[in-house]
Amino acid sequence: MQRPENLILVIFGASGDLAKRKLIPALIELYHQNLMPENFAILGVSRTDYSDSTFRTEMTESINEFLDDKDISKKTINEFVKNLYYQPIDTSKADDYGLVKNKLNELNEKLNTNGNYIFYLSTPPSLYEVIPKYLAQQGLNKNQNRIRRLIIEKPFGYNLETAISLNKKLLEDYEEEQIYRIDHYLGKETVQNLFVTRFSNGIYEPLWNRNYVDHVEITSAESLGVEGRGGYYDNSGALRDMVQNHLLQMAGFVAMEPPSSLDSRAIRNETLKVFQSLRPIKESEVKSFSIRGQYVASKIKGEEVLGYREEKGVNPKSKTETYAALKFYIDNWRWGGVPFYIRTGKRLPTKVTEIVIHFKETPHYLFSKKTNSEACNKLIIRIQPDEGILLKFGMKVPGAGFNVQNVNMDFHYKDISDEKMPNAYERLLHDAMLGDSTLYARGDAVEEAWKFIAPIQKVWESDKSIKIYGYPAGTWGPEKADELIEKQGITWRYPCKNLADDGKYCEL
Ligand X SMILES: NC(=O)c1ccc[n+]([C@@H]2O[C@H](COP(=O)([O-])OP(=O)(O)OC[C@H]3O[C@@H](n4cnc5c(N)ncnc54)[C@H](OP(=O)(O)O)[C@@H]3O)[C@@H](O)[C@H]2O)c1
Active site residues: 246
377 binds ligand X (CB under 6 A): no
Question: What is the per-residue binding string for ligand X in 137-176, x denoting contact by CB under 6 A?
Answer: ----------------xx----------------------
Going edge to edge, which strands form the sheet with 303-305? 303-305, 298-300, 500-502
Select 92 or 406, whichever has its Cβ closest to ligand X: 92
Beta strands in 360-448 (DSSP E): 378-384, 388-396, 404-412
Q: 155: cis peptide before it, omega within 30°?
A: yes
124 binds ligand X (CB under 6 A): yes
Among residue numbers 59 through 118, which ones bind ligand X (CB under 6 A)?
A: 90-92
133 binds ligand X (CB under 6 A): no
Which CA distances in Å does 158 have to 154, 226, 318, 457? 10, 19, 18, 10
The residue from 3, 5, 33, 47 that contacts ligand X (CB under 6 A) is: 47
Residues with Cβ within 8 Å of 357's Cβ and at least 6 positions away in sequence, in order, are 208, 213, 216, 254, 378, 379, 380, 381
In angstroms, give the least distance from the CB of 183 to ligand X: 9
Q: Are strands 506-507 and 388-396 parallel, antiparallel or unpaired?
A: unpaired
Select 96 or 482, whichever has its Cβ closest to ligand X: 96
In angstroms, give the least distance from the CB of 124 to ligand X: 5
Select 383 or 499, whichever has its Cβ closest to ligand X: 383
495 binds ligand X (CB under 6 A): no
237 binds ligand X (CB under 6 A): no
Residue showing the smallest CB distance to ligand X in the complex: 16
Backbone φ and ψ of 47, nearest 5°: -80, -30
Select 155 or 394, whichever has its Cβ closest to ligand X: 155
3-state secondary structure of 379: strand
Tell me which stretch binds ligand X (CB under 6 A): 15-23, 258-266, 291-299, 393-401: 15-23
404: left (phi over 0), alpha (psi -120 to 50) or beta: beta
The residue from 4, 7, 10, 15 that contacts ligand X (CB under 6 A) is: 15
The residue from 27, 30, 41, 46 that contacts ligand X (CB under 6 A) is: 46
Binding-site residue total for ligand X (CB under 6 A)? 19
Report d(CA 137, CA 118) in Å as an integer.
16
Long-range contacts of range 193-198, CB-CB < 8 Å, 24 or more positions apart? 193/381, 193/389, 193/413, 194/253, 194/254, 194/355, 194/381, 195/253, 195/267, 197/381, 197/389, 198/258
Tell me which stretch binds ligand X (CB under 6 A): 14-22, 218-226, 405-413, 436-444: 14-22
Report d(CA 278, CA 339) in Å as an integer.
11
123 binds ligand X (CB under 6 A): yes
Tell me which stretch binds ligand X (CB under 6 A): 40-48, 61-69, 266-274, 418-426: 40-48
Select 22 or 442, whichever has its Cβ closest to ligand X: 22
Select 131 or 213, whichever has its Cβ closest to ligand X: 131
The residue from 122, 167, 197, 290 that contacts ligand X (CB under 6 A) is: 122
Contact (Cβ atoms closer than 8 angstroms) between residue 422 and residue 165: no
313 binds ligand X (CB under 6 A): no
Select 49 or 418, whichever has its Cβ closest to ligand X: 49
Nearest to 290 by CA among 300, 282, 301, 298: 282
Chain positions contacting ligand X, by CB under 6 A: 13-19, 46-48, 90-92, 122-125, 153-154
